[in-house]
Amino acid sequence: MNYSEILAEIHHEITPLFGQGKVADYIPALAKMDPNKFGMAITTIDGELFTFGNTKDEFTIQSISKVFTFVKAFSGIGEKIWEHVGREPSGTSFNSLVQLEHEFGIPRNPFINAGALVITDLLISEYGDAKKEILNFLQDLSQDRSVRFDLEVAESEKQHGFRNAALANFMKSFGNIENDIESILDTYFYHCSILMNCEELAKSFLFLANNGIIPGSNKQLLTKSQAKRTNALMLSCGLYDESGEFAFRVGLPGKSGVGGAIAAIIPNKMAISVWSPELDEYGNSLIGIKALELFTTKTGMSIF
């Protein structure tokens, strides 16, 4: 299949949508992103790469980092992870507090902020310097040692992180957080601030399309069953309260971030990343979703 032509067609069709979304503006460092950027990259498990647009530009991966932290924790502690976090869609916004009180401080899933904070806590208990561990993991996956934290974004998030602080404190009051709040928030904001480009992001997701194994290596990051579960979680919870709509329109497991990127996988075939900073009302890339919808429609490839 000539994916390059399809990517060019997609770009043509999404162009009228520029201006319909809004770049994240809760911190100045994100508000200054160029809304007109668009990049899309496909990496196949056979080692092919197809790109279109601004695929070498860096952006902060934000909540997409929650997939990597979850993978790291799941591979390390296995089934015990479910004592701390659930695996149900929340149907609420990514930073919502409302369900936590009724559900005794156990977040619905690892991809809402509450769940990701619990995962960060588990990683600190497991590794001590979890920040370094997460960054190394992403440098290995992307095969790029220049993958790094955006210090301005991380520090700015810290200055405005009142809701995340509330979530972490609330969960600590239920006994679902072990380490001190400050180090959890610091690690969480830093892993959200990791800078990558579309090509690196697609490459880093490829093991999820390949039963947990990095293609071309014998490196098994997750068991086949764990990879299946991670993908199921992305499908049901990866785009927060827009996950149902994403499954309906795109039909792939995927994860979004407020930096404007979405990464998705087609099992046994490929990983796809798309970046367009304007967000919809749920905090997901408006054009990114459309681009992925066009991709699965044009190619006839989805998990359904």
188 catalytically annotated: yes
Smaller CB separation from ligand DON, 51 or 243: 243
Q: Which residues bind ligand DON (CB under 6 A)?
A: 62-63, 94-95, 113, 157, 164, 192, 256-258, 283-284
Residue 254 has phi, psi (to 5 degrees) of -155, 165
127 catalytically annotated: no
In the complex, minimum distance from the CB of residue 94 to ligand DON, in angstroms, rounded to a whole number: 4
Burial call 261-292: b when 16+ CB within 10 Å, e when fewer: bbbbbbbeebbbbbbbbbbbebbbbbbbbbbb
In the complex, minimum distance from the CB of residue 30 to ligand DON, in angstroms, rounded to a whole number: 9
Classified as helix, coil or strand, 8 is helix
Smaller CB separation from ligand DON, 43 or 113: 113
CA distance 139 to 124: 19
Distance of CA 218 to the CA centre of its chain: 24
Catalytic residue among 240, 243, 255, 273: 240
Catalytic residue among 85, 258, 276, 285: 258
Q: With CA atoms as reference, report the closest residue to 81 among 113, 126, 112.
A: 126
- Could you give the angle at which helices 181-192 and 65-77 cross, rounded to 10 degrees? 120
240 catalytically annotated: yes
63 catalytically annotated: yes
Smaller CB separation from ligand DON, 27 or 202: 27
CA distance 289 to 276: 9
Smaller CB separation from ligand DON, 95 or 299: 95
In the complex, minimum distance from the CB of residue 157 to ligand DON, in angstroms, rounded to a whole number: 5
Greatest Cα-to-Cα distance within the chain, rounded to the nearest angstrom:
54
Catalytic residue among 188, 243, 273, 274: 188
Catalytic residue among 66, 172, 203, 290: 66
| Cα three-residue angle 115-118-119, rounded to 5 degrees | 90
Q: With CA atoms as reference, report the closest residue to 135 among 76, 182, 194, 185.
A: 194
Smaller CB separation from ligand DON, 168 or 265: 168
In the complex, minimum distance from the CB of residue 284 to ligand DON, in angstroms, rounded to a whole number: 6
204 catalytically annotated: no
In the complex, minimum distance from the CB of residue 149 to ligand DON, in angstroms, rounded to a whole number: 12
Residues labelled catalytic: 63, 66, 188, 240, 258
